[in-house]
Structure 1
């Protein structure tokens, strides 16, 4: 019996130890499995699916590609954990490109019950006066030397030689000798001189002296600031022709633009507070004096005018100002969000900005916005941005170039995937994998031609000719000629006059394209290794294609593509012939490639 008791005790002890060592392990495995399942389920829940042939396709669940019918595959984030529509730049690139960001909107909530308006100072048109000549003649002396000069009422402004007044004075002297017998004639002659703004004292002086004057003075009728010189010394002026425009800046106008949803909060006679960057700690009291009865159908705004006292001469016409209007209780309006014009990219049909999505890292996302009115160098954003978001305001084109290099959505490539600028940029931007079989670059956004002067187009054409010389040198495996062509491109770029571009969009596009072409051309001109030259040629070609698409070179050219260039990432170039002559391989694979587009 004692033996059985020992066996039972050993058995119980064994069961207890087995549970301690193995039961918990099994339980832990189960828990681990549950955690793993949860992680996997979470990953699957956030997983996006794309097509290997068409990477612009993004769907939240697996299925068939709507374009080619192939099975969708999981879309992976980048190696750095970025989302598909995000782009990360290196700290070196940020520093070299001087990329700056600004928080938009008003992040504080202290102004919720006020309406903000933006505008600028203008001269009070009601206080403007035009100093005109009241008789024909030649300006012998102009006593006003420059615009902005202060004049006082009664001040001598000009002296005019007036032949018509010479004859009128002679009539006066003749009539004066007969005033006793013909008083009516004498009075008529004096009145004629008065109509020419001669004073009683001037007329009496002519009569008493008996001498005819050839030169007559013009005096200021008001005090103020000369806002415009409308004639010069030596000019021959007609009767009534303006000589000077004088503005009394004792009061000025502040002109604002108010949106439709703000009109109900404004009325004539309303008091507002105006501030300006010139005096950030000073507020100016103003009164709304006019609200335009018509709506601007393009900007959907109404002009609002306020009159400000300017006795201290602090407010200058042209200054940008902002105003705060106290709203009625129980009402609210959407706060305005404004960004500098340097933050906005144009593609012809869209307006884009880059938003910094991570406050601690240089990670950016392209965002399409709807623009409102433009006040000076500032745009009002109607849609696309939220209060407190951080936007790139300097170096926007460089961020967009980085997006192109990483195969992300950009100004030139709305769908992401393979781009024309796959080569690593000169600012140290990281290059992303674009997919071997991705669609060829989408040029649709860049096909809208910008009209430029023939002179600018001819200057650009010389750069293009040097580019063709470079392409031919690479086709012929001639590194020496390629190096020389790179130097020629740099020299021709310096002769392209940016001042010929009056359109702001064209100016901004060319400024960035020129910078990119110059960097690549300099790199080629400084290298004697053909492999290095071909690497930079890919980046140069991408921006050369953009310039030809935007501005034209007055001849038909072909965009050609080799899928095997740059380690099977693919690369483009421009050619004058349809026949493929590959600059990335030369004689090794001279005919590798195809024509993807013809630019007229």
Structure 2
């Protein structure tokens, strides 16, 4: 009985083994007939050496040549307001008067003390000649007169400071106080900005330092007036390079007679130096822009054929569909200019015979 069971099990195992072997053979045959996917077809662009006119494109912001929030030096209640919001004013023009009734009354008292001190000194001068007065008393009367004069002058100065005037000519902003309001020291009253001319502050990468010079012409555009180009000249160049950004601070001056340019405006700046500089360029379609840095897929020749490898680059200016390559590539390197989405490092590729999309218009 045991021998029969053993024979049955042996035959069953032999049958199952044969079935599994046959199935495995079928799977291997099917797998051998499946062809691997063909290499991805990509368009390729070559890193080219070119001479670009050394115009520098950057951005900046406008700053008033003189700009302050007009405020009071002494406390007091507003007695009169002599300006309107948005008004043009001249240097020294009266803007606000604070109440001076108490100060005027105190001034009269100080003036009376001054007159008394003058009279006492005059009598002392006659008495000291006749030796009726000591030198110490005479000196004391002189000091009292000086103190009285200083007190009167201090009170007049305080009264004058309650007449708040424009420190320079310019344009007023929105009034921030009201009639009868009590002002503590340093309360902002109104913004005053000198708008003509106006400063333009911007930064330039340190590699362009040799292209900058005082009195160099610049062109500026703002979003508020896209059809206008404002011209100016470089006014000052910082003598030091910023350590964090490796850039140079530059200040230009722009004529603003119609006062359309206002402090704080965002400005696009272009600087023409009249020189040419050598640059490496690629079509902009070849570059993948990411928050953590720009990259390209570099074509490499390996034992398996052409493959791609991601390469980090530093890009610069962009002109007519081509981008300046500052670092990461060399002249003659080939990179993928179309089809990057389907690629990964080490993936085989086939080069499209057509030119790169960014270069086809130039060939036609």
TM-score, length-scaled by structure 2:
0.52
Structure-to-structure mapping, 1:481-496, within 5 angstroms: none
Q: Indicate which of 191, 202, 207 corresponds to 2:153.
A: 191
Could you tell me which residue of structure 2 aligns to residue 291 of structure 1? Answer: 237
CA contact (8 A) 1:252 1:307 kept: yes
Could you tell me which residue of structure 1 aligns to residue 116 of structure 2? Answer: 181
* Structure 2 stretches lacking a partner, 5+ long: 1-34, 45-49, 119-144, 298-309, 318-322, 331-336, 348-364
Could you tell me which residue of structure 1 aligns to residue 271 of structure 2? Answer: 324
Structure-to-structure mapping, 1:419-458, within 5 angstroms: none
Which has more helix, going by share of residues?
Answer: 1
CA contact (8 A) 1:251 1:307 kept: yes
Shift of 1:237: 1.8
Could you tell me which residue of structure 2 aligns to residue 58 of structure 1? Answer: none
CA contact (8 A) 2:75 2:182 kept: no
Q: Secondary structure at the match of 1:124?
A: strand
Q: Secondary structure at the match of 1:76?
A: coil
Q: CA RMSD in A?
A: 4.8
Structure-to-structure mapping, 1:114-263, within 5 angstroms: 114-125=54-65, 127-139=66-78, 149-153=86-90, 154-161=92-99, 166-183=101-118, 184=145, 187-196=149-158, 198=160, 216-226=162-172, 232-233=177-178, 234=181, 236-238=183-185, 240=186, 242-263=188-209
CA contact (8 A) 2:107 2:156 kept: no
| Higher relative contact order structure (alpha carbons within 8 Å, sequence separation ≥ 6) | 2
Q: Name which one, 1 or 2, has greater alpha-carbon Rg.
A: 2
Could you tell me which residue of structure 2 aligns to residue 370 of structure 1? Answer: 314
Q: Show CA shifts across 1:273-331 (max 9, x none).
A: 31315556655442222111221233321111111221222333313132222245xx5
* Structure 1 stretches lacking a partner, 5+ long: 1-72, 86-108, 200-215, 355-365, 374-378, 393-398, 418-600
Q: 1:176 to 1:255 in 2, by over 3 A?
A: closer
TM-score, length-scaled by structure 1:
0.34
Q: 1:194 to 1:141 in 2, by over 3 A?
A: closer
Q: C-alpha separation between the residues in 1 aligned to 2:218 and 2:253?
A: 11
Q: C-alpha separation between the residues in 2 aligned to 1:258 and 1:224?
A: 30
Q: C-alpha separation between the residues in 1 aligned to 2:280 and 2:228?
A: 23
CA contact (8 A) 1:139 1:237 kept: no
Q: 1:382 to 1:194 in 2, by over 3 A?
A: farther
Q: C-alpha separation between the residues in 1 aligned to 2:190 and 2:274?
A: 43
Shift of 1:255: 1.9
Could you tell me which residue of structure 1 aligns to residue 333 of structure 2? Answer: none
Count, aligned residues: 250
Q: Secondary structure at the match of 2:262?
A: coil
Q: Show CA shifts across 1:145-167 (max 9, x none).
A: 76xx2330244433435xxx554
Which has more strand, going by share of residues?
Answer: 2
CA contact (8 A) 1:142 1:232 kept: no
Shift of 1:135: 0.8
